[in-house]
Amino acid sequence: MAAEHAALQPALNEALQDVLASAAFIQGPAVGQFATELGEYLGGTYVVPCANGTDALTLALMSLELPAGAEVIVPAFTYVATLEAAALLGLRPVLADVHPDTFNLDPAAVEAALTPRTGAIVAVHLFGQCADLAALRTLAARHGVALIEDNAQALGATFQFSADETAFAGAVGTVGTTSFFPSKNLGCLGDGGALLTCNADRAALLRQLANHGQSRKYHHQRIGLNSRLDTLQAALLRVKLRQLPINTAARQAVAAGYDAALATVPGLHIPARDARSTHVFHQYTIRLDEPRRRDDLQNHLRRCGVPTMIYYPLPVHAQPAYAYLGYRAGQFPVAERLCETVLSLPIHPLLLAEQVAYVGAILQQALA
């Protein structure tokens, strides 16, 4: 990340100086400019900046005005924020298992989880690839429930519905959310997030909710949040957004390098691709056949100087905070198995082909 920023340093410094000079630290002009530019990049979507990706999920759900206790279907394999937002609002997270190959929501499991109390489905585009938006959009429409897209990890990915319909991740559902946490594909230098929608009225409502429920200062229509993207972060994000297409292509090239090195390694599965979605490779996550192999391999890679991560080591229903939901071990077998067998390899736009080859060679040798 430091190397990535080094190349942008003059432009980042200039952005910082401009904000310092303006002293417009809250809701300064860069916030609106960034929202417009990101919206243009996403094919004309309304972008409502907010304080972080978790707030974005909270605000998206608040905008649905669901009754207390309404059910929100979320993947059993995701970052906790997806559930946390629903739980904090007094809504009930209902888990649905995921596909073993794409790691994303299994529409059949979602269908089985739908009840008359369901208010929303939250699709997470995990690791950079779209969930099955065609099936989920159809399900949501058929049952009259909202589709929220947690797009914290797949900003810039697209999904092809048909020969003449392609859409950006986050711009399909009722509301999309994203995060600018520093390690995200578009990361700021602190916390940040945004809401995405194609509906002007929804955008206005989200803007109001993110700003204490007011559209006019000191006139509060709704109970809202104080959830604003700092001007400074917006100014820095404007610089980094210009680099996003280049960085995405670089991530995809790294992924292609890993694919070539790992495709035939026994007991190892490279990330499966849904042919309808592009993949922006927030993570390059392999799957091992055996849990023990995964842990041995992670230790071996660490000894060779290769950092890896396990996203996520524990499924959400096994987290003590969510014990109240009453799920048992064994209820979400795919998510549970993934927690034991996935491993995310190093990936960032500046990773060199030699470094990819080095990691590939270690894995080839270890699993031969």
Binding site for ligand PLP (CB under 6 A): 52-54, 78-79, 81-82, 124, 150, 152-153, 179, 181, 191, 193
Cα 354 to chain center, whole Å? Answer: 28
Measured from the CB atom, the residue of 191 and 336 that comes closer to ligand PLP is 191
CA pair distance 202, 189, nearest whole angstrom:
28
**Residue 329 burial (CB count, 10 A):** 10
Q: How far is the CB of 104 from ligand PLP (least distance, A)?
A: 11
Name the packing angle between helices 231-262 and 29-41 (round to 10°): 30
What minimum distance in Å lies between the beta carbon of 78 and ligand PLP?
Answer: 6
Least separation in angstroms between residue 178's CB and ligand PLP is 8
The residue (of 173 and 193) whose beta carbon lies closer to ligand PLP is 193
By beta carbon distance, the residue nearest ligand PLP is 53
* Minimum separation from the CB atom of position 10 to ligand PLP (A): 27
- 54/63 with CB nearer ligand PLP: 54
Min. distance of Cβ 100 from ligand PLP in angstroms? 19
Pick 52 or 118: Cβ nearer ligand PLP: 52
Neighbours of 267 (CB within 10 A): 14
Report in angstroms how near the CB of residue 77 gets to ligand PLP at its nearest: 10
Q: Which is nearer to ligand PLP, 50 or 301 (CB)?
A: 50
Half-sphere exposure of 170 (CA within 13 A, CB side): 31
Give the Cα separation of 149 and 41 in Å (integer): 18
d(CA 323, CA 257): 41
Least distance from ligand PLP to the Cβ atom of residue 227, Å: 10
Q: Quote the least distance from Cβ 153 to ligand PLP, whole Å.
A: 5
Give min distance, CB of 237 to ligand PLP, in A: 13
CB atoms inside a 10 Å sphere around CB 166: 13
SS3 of residue 134 by DSSP: helix
- Is 189 buried (19+), middle (13-18) or exposed (0-12) by CB count in 10 A? middle
Nearer to ligand PLP, 71 or 84 (CB): 84
Using the minimum distance from each CB to ligand PLP, give the nearer residue, 22 or 183: 183
Residue 299 and residue 72: Cα distance in Å, rounded?
38
User: Which of 346, 49, 84 is closest to 191 using CA atoms?
Assistant: 49
* Contact call for residues 230 and 22 (beta carbons, < 8 A): no
Q: Which is nearer to ligand PLP, 106 or 191 (CB)?
A: 191
Integer Cα distance of 62 and 222 in angstroms: 10
- The 3-state secondary structure of 281-332 reads CCCEEEEECCHHHHHHHHHHHHHCCCCCECCCCCCHHHCHHHHHHCCCCCCC
Please say which residue, 31 or 152, places its beta carbon nearer to ligand PLP: 152
